[in-house]
């Protein structure tokens, strides 16, 4: 952001005022008028407030690259409920993969009893290896929908191919874009065209700006709204599987005023740390959590080590339930 001063302005005084407002300021040398550059990653200040500072002549910035996202409300419809600032924390839970009608029915019953609002479960699974279990496909969609409906839960599930968007939309309330597909633009277009809310997972190395732009694709191509889902990014330290970026969650929630939820299961890959990070996510500004759970994690077809057992999920839900995202 460029702040141009009047010729007679006291540059040092303007700088002090900008710093006092939390801005990172650099002097530019050589311009026809005294000028200061404000890093876009420092605090946000309305243009009018900057123009009101004594000595400031004009304030210039690039146009936002994501006007539809900027205009999205902080609380949006999300399947059967609303999600975002002012609404109670939303809980999405279920197994990594939908394995059988019985499995998903048992889990749906259990999580509904805890007050969870949406059921998750993979029918089409993105797997790093072509030899790993790839999901039960359309059959699993039916099992998932039936189990959810029986317990008045909404359904969130992932779409992996543009060709499947219509099919998945006929079963699910919310369509999930996985982290590996955050910049799969053909998929974003096809899924957006279904007119359902989208749960947009952050890519493993996506910047917040790229993530917002992926959201802009969704809104531009017809999605009624987009909820952002942080699930851990790629870091240099193998001590935790991924790096849960709660700073980005706070930035989205408190500065960009976007609805955002956190998936601690994929971030950590191990269930023992999930309760602590779930609490932290809510404290940072997340409007909800997406949690993996399984009745028999040792026999799960995928991601068993990160699945919460029934009692662990129950304890966690009790802790965060009723929590209301601060306005």
Binders of a second copy among residues 104 to 133 (CB under 8 A) are 126-131
2, 81, 114, 193: residue in contact with a second copy (rule CB under 8 A): 2
| Residues between 71 and 90 that touch a second copy (CB under 8 A) | none
The rounded distance, in Å, linking the Cα atoms of 200 and 177 is 5
CB of 98 to a second copy, least distance (A): 18
DSSP 302: S
49, 52, 54, 65: residue in contact with a second copy (rule CB under 8 A): 65
CB of 106 to a second copy, least distance (A): 17
Query: How many other C-beta atoms can be found within 10 angstroms of the C-beta atom of residue 190?
Result: 21
DSSP 252: I
Q: Are 174 and 194 in contact (CB under 8 A)?
A: no
91, 116, 160, 226: residue in contact with a second copy (rule CB under 8 A): 160
59, 141, 156, 168: residue in contact with a second copy (rule CB under 8 A): 59
The rounded distance, in Å, linking the Cα atoms of 170 and 194 is 9
The stretch among 75-83, 105-113, 167-175, 179-187 that binds a second copy (CB under 8 A) is: 179-187
# of chain residues touching a second copy (CB under 8 A): 110
Tokens for 145?
A: 């929908």
Q: What is the dihedral of CA 32, 36, 40, 46, to 10 degrees?
A: -100
The stretch among 90-98, 147-155, 167-175, 291-299 that binds a second copy (CB under 8 A) is: 291-299
Site map 183..222 versus a second copy, x via CB under 8 A: xxxxx---------------xxxxxxxx--x--xx--xx-
3-state secondary structure string across 171-202: CCCEEEECHHHCCCHHHHHHHHCCCCCEEEEC
């Amino acid at each position: 952001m460029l702040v141009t001063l009047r010729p007679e302005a006291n540059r040092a005084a303007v700088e002090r005022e900008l710093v006092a407002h939390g801005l990172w300021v650099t002097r530019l040398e050589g311009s026809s008028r005294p000028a200061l550059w404000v890093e876009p990653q420092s605090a946000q200040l309305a243009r009018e407030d900057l123009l009101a500072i004594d000595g400031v002549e004009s304030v210039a910035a690039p146009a936002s690259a994501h006007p539809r996202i900027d205009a999205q409300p902080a609380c949006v419809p999300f399947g059967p409920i609303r999600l975002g600032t002012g609404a109670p924390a939303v809980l999405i839970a279920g197994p990594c993969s939908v394995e059988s009608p019985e499995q998903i029915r048992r889990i749906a019953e259990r999580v509904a009893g805890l007050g969870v609002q949406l059921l998750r479960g993979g029918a089409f699974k993105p797997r790093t290896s072509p030899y790993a279990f790839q999901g039960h496909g359309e059959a699993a969609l039916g099992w998932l929908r039936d189990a959810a409906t029986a317990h008045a839960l909404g359904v969130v599930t992932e779409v992996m191919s543009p060709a499947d968007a219509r099919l998945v939309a006929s079963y699910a309330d919310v369509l999930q874009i996985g982290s590996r597909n955050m910049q799969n633009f053909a998929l974003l277009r096809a899924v957006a065209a279904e007119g359902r809310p989208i749960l947009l997972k952050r890519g493993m190395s996506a910047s917040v700006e790229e993530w917002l732009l992926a959201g802009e694709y969704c809104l531009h191509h017809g999605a009624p709204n987009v909820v952002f889902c942080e699930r851990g990014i790629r870091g240099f330290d193998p001590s935790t599987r991924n790096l849960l970026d709660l700073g980005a969650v706070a930035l989205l929630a408190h500065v960009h005023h976007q609805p955002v939820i956190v998936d601690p299961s994929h971030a950590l890959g191990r269930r023992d740390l999930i309760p602590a990070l779930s609490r932290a996510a809510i404290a940072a500004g997340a409007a909800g959590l997406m949690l993996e759970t399984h009745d028999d994690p040792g026999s799960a077809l995928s991601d068993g080590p990160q699945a919460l057992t029934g009692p662990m999920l129950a304890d966690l839900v009790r802790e965060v339930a009723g929590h209301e995202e601060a306005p």
